[in-house]
A and B are shown apart, each in its own frame.
Chain A
């Protein structure tokens, strides 16, 4: 598994810059150049949104100072734009202390992995699992490929249906990120292809 391209973005105002045990544990396991720490949630969000072509894992605190977006707001803003980012919420709070609408939002976006910031081994383990998921998820692979296409190619009609609808790659990309219509349909078709190849014993396994 090639983990080098994945960035780990820590957005947390309760960690000691550079010397926090969690940051040290992450640097011990991964390359230091992969890890970037923001104490301000707005700045962290901007960095993520400015680097959407980059696969990222975001370790995100839930509570921030007044005037900054909350962790859940940052989470929702990221999820509107991309599925290439895997988000792990970090909080010392118990589930019961989190507002129900915030919990529902996180559950609906399939990214609820709550951990206490002091539980370093578990957080490092979650990051490892997230890296693997980013490598194998169909939506991430599709999104990654579309991002490599030229602007001109992305804005040409790409897929048409005999029910009268058609989509450009830009529209497909948006749909993948929003997990709607054509995006889901394309992901399903790719899964059908994989199953079809397996069933017909044509799958070529790579090590």
Chain B
């Protein structure tokens, strides 16, 4: 018999600077998700400080991040990367303005044994990251699709991640 103890703690983070063109996609998706996730799922938006993010992760078994990726040819294309299986591709260049990028933050958290068991990254290819620039239309148009996928992702994580269940 499987008894449900409580649902797996999941954190959803929209990453990026909302005032730098397509880097705003993380914040835009976070805004689109507000009020649409289960009550026990935390949702935050974060700027450049990835070290603070490591502290944000504490206590969560699963993490879903949305970030903009460097231009790879198709603005708005959505990539899903499961960090339990794959590394963040170097060519996506998840740059942060201060010291650590997302890939570095994940590596550091793992070394410190502070990384959530499951980490899913939704990376949306951007085109323009200029200060004060508007978002590219194709990138902003992807926000709702990413939000939909994350809602499903959160449901899947809460069903499958082990710590919330006892046999």
A binds B: no
Tell me the A residues contacting B by CB distance below 8 Å.
Answer: none
